[in-house]
Amino acid sequence: MNILVPIDGSESSLNALKAAVAMIGGRSDVGLRVVTVQPPIASGNVKRFISAEILDEYYQDEGNKSLEAARELLRDASAPVSFEVLVGSVAETIVDDARQHSCGHIVMGTRGLGRISGLLLGSVATKVLSLTDLPVTLVK
């Protein structure tokens, strides 16, 4: 079984990663799939002026920045860990990736780095809850 942990670089997402590690304990039969999802910035007009290769490089660079702290946190993890930068609609991409990689659980932060503040539960977390039938653990 794998546990999917979406990371955006926020304190809440890193707390979710720590919680997922604690859930696993010392088990080596449970893996961690750590992903960051970059929302597409390319509209039709942008694509006319910026090549697909440059956009892909941008997404990878931004994604790797978001994953830096997670990589550091998991440097000595005993569980199998995979990292990936994804591009797409954030909540839908998280749910689709969990399905595609046979994840049995999603552990995520309640609040990310979005622009809207003051909400009890972030919009991505709310949407993930509505889109998946997997167990979801939300961490502040």
Pairing state between β 81-87 and 31-38: parallel
Residue 45 above 80 pLDDT? no
Mean pLDDT, the chain, integer: 91
The answer to whether the beta carbons of residues 40 and 87 sit under 8 Å apart is yes
The domain locations on the chain are 2-139
Q: What is the pLDDT confidence band of residue 87, given thresholds at 50, 70 and 90?
A: very high
Q: Provide the angle, in degrees to the nearest 10, between the axes of the packed helices 52-73 and 11-24.
A: 60
Q: Which fold has domain 2-139?
A: Rossmann fold (3.40.50)
The answer to whether the beta carbons of residues 7 and 34 sit under 8 Å apart is yes
Residue 119 above 80 pLDDT? no
Mean pLDDT of 88-103: 97
The answer to whether the beta carbons of residues 17 and 70 sit under 8 Å apart is yes
pTM of this structure: 0.91
Question: In sequence order, what DSSP letters do the residues of 56-119 get, joined into one string?
Answer: HHHHHHHHHHHHHHHHHHTTT-SS-EEEEEEES-HHHHHHHHHHHTTEEEEEEES--S-S--S-
